[in-house]
Amino acid sequence: MTSSDLNWDAIVIGGGHNGLVAAATLAKSGRKVLLLEAGNEVGGAARTEEFAPGFRVSTVAHLLNRLHPDVVKTLELERHGLKVERGDLVPSVALSKDGPLVLHGAYGEVLTGTSPSEQSAWKDLRAQLLRYAGVLKPFLSRRPPDFAGMSLAEMAGLGQTALALKRLGREDMRDFLRVLLMNVYDLLDEQLSDDRLKGLLAFDATLGSHLGPRSPTSLLGLYYRLAGEIGGLAGAQVQPKGGMGAVVAAIRAAAEKAGVSIRPTSPVAKVIVEKGRAVGVVTQGGETLQAKIVVSAINPATTILDLVGPREVDTGFVRKVKNIRMKGDAAKLHLALDRPPQFSGVDAAGHKGRLVVAPSPDHVERAFNPSKYGDFSPEPVMEITLPSLADPSLAPFGACVLSAVVQYAPYALREGWGAGKPRFLKAIMAQLETYAPGIGATVSHAELLTPADIEARYRMPGGHWHHGELQADQMLMSRPVSGWSGYDTPLEGLFLAGAGSHSGGGISGAPGLNAARRIIAMRG
């Protein structure tokens, strides 16, 4: 019997990590689930791939800092090979010509490389940031509030948030509300004085979005980052052994254990709609597959505009979907190096961590400025990892892999990425050379993925890893569009489960898990 003879309970489109999480969760609830992946292998933007002979790297996401504990628990990922131990946490190093500053443990439990007064100021600010991010945290693992038709359970969930707010105490609650939509630059100015620390935080707040530190609401990005946790530690980060592909392998194992049928190289051409209801899909190969429900864990705009088609939904909805802003502003650099680089003043532990080039908030803001007008940053900011130091299997003996997320690289580069890419690579290498003198000479292969490349390779429109800007107007009940934020769509039986839905991107699995929970709650 071939799979097309079967009637599936659910077809999941897209084998990125959210699709896998959704499929696994649905299968665990007893549903018969088929997952269709367009590419040769699952994992989407969470893969470990070879980019030069003998050199492997996590090709888009390279740090694990927000895999949701509910995902780990629900799918028993630890049983399926995911291991995170306290010793795996890596520090963040703010590189600077004045010498590095290091945030140890979970997002700077200990801060070194700066004055005692700054350390003390950071201790207070860190505690405050984590308290405030903690208020937002419960939102990550449930449907966004729907004030129009809220269920009792949802109401209770919102009540928890209200309680968390109340627990802050009156002064703190007022301050929380005061700073919520602030820009990160001004907040940092209020409380810190070390430019390196401020630069690092400004970078983290704006990483992956089209915002500069001085853009209104940029602080939300930092809260989003700190609402994530690893091993129960808020703000912590690890470089998974084997790269991000190893994380996906664990999720995949859980999905297969739960009985999900996974079919790679099966791109979906069309969602079949009958009388306002999604009843199956047609693959690009022409095969028709029927299912009780269809769960799309790919981009929301691609789902609605390409797979469903504007004809099957209402004009207002099409309008909203077309207006989702999703032009990526971050590039990904992979270098194959003959030997490990030496970043000035950084110790061995630091080299295994996250190295950030963002020497001051002004530097980050200046890097952002040209991107508003379609130009890349002449002095880009970036976060660098050297994954082969912790996992030598990723590079040939003695050689080294460098992986960096580089900003700002506007998707719609005015001069076009054909001409712009080599010039941007040169600008990046100049920055690297400043902090790791001699690194340029050791490069045996360089791969730079611009947002245009990421779009083409990973089917992420705009090359945006959140599948839609993660800013205040595209969060919570406005994600992916207002009125349809709870993983449902105007089509009965069609659900969205990807990063384009609440709570957004990063390797969290939360959208996939939340969507599956929604479907199970609806008995869909």
State the residues that interact with other proteins by CB under 8 A.
Answer: 273, 275-276, 305, 309-319, 322, 483, 490
Nearer to other proteins, 306 or 453 (CB): 306
Residue pair 77/250 in contact (Cβ under 8 Å)? The answer is: yes
CB of 366 to other proteins, least distance (A): 37
- Taking the least distance from each CB to other proteins, the nearer of 276 and 416 is 276
Q: Which value, in Å, is the radius of gyration of the alpha carbons in the chain?
A: 22
User: Which residue do the tokens 């505009």 mark?
Assistant: 305
Nearest to 508 by CA among 12, 18, 13, 15: 18
Query: Which residues make Cβ contacts (< 8 Å) with residue 395, sequence separation at least 6?
Result: 54, 55, 56, 336, 337, 388, 401
User: Residue 489 Cβ, how far from other proteins at the closest point, in Å?
Assistant: 10
d(CA 68, CA 45): 17
Q: Give the shortest CB-483-to-other proteins separation in angstroms.
A: 8
Q: Is 402 helix (H, G, I), strand (E, B) or coil?
A: strand
Between 392 and 490, name the residue whose CB sits nearer to other proteins.
490
Q: How far is the CB of 146 from other proteins (least distance, A)?
A: 15
Question: What is the closest distance, in whole angstroms, from the C-beta atom of residue 148 to other proteins in the complex?
Answer: 11
Q: How many residues does the chain have?
A: 524
> Which residues have a Cβ under 8 Å from the Cβ of 174 and sit 6 or more positions away?
none
Q: Which amino acid is at 241?
A: K
Closest to other proteins by CB, 102 or 481: 481
Q: For other proteins, give the closer residue by CB, 312 or 469.
A: 312
Chain centre distance of CA 172: 29
Closer residue to other proteins in complex, CB, 268/406: 268
Cβ nearer to other proteins, comparing 271 with 364: 271
Least Cβ distance, residue 247 to other proteins (angstroms)? 38
| Residue among 522, 484, 520, 508 nearest 141 (CA) | 508
Whichever of 316 and 398 has its CB closer to other proteins, that residue is 316
CB of 242 to other proteins, least distance (A): 43
| Residue (22 or 301) nearer to other proteins, CB | 301
Which helix (H) or strand (E) covers residue 249, if one does? Answer: helix 244-257
| Distance between CA atoms of residues 496 and 515, nearest Å | 7
Residue 390's φ and ψ, nearest 5 degrees, are: -85, -30
State the nearest-atom distance from the C-beta of 87 to other proteins, in Å.
Answer: 53
Strand residue runs (E) in 88-133:
92-95, 101-104, 110-112
DSSP per-residue letters across 139-189: HHTSPPP-SSS--HHHHHHHHHHHHHHHHT-HHHHHHHHHHTT--HHHHHH
* Shortest reach from residue 515's CB to other proteins, in Å: 20
Q: Tell which residue, 112, 507, 118, has the closest CA to residue 349.
A: 112
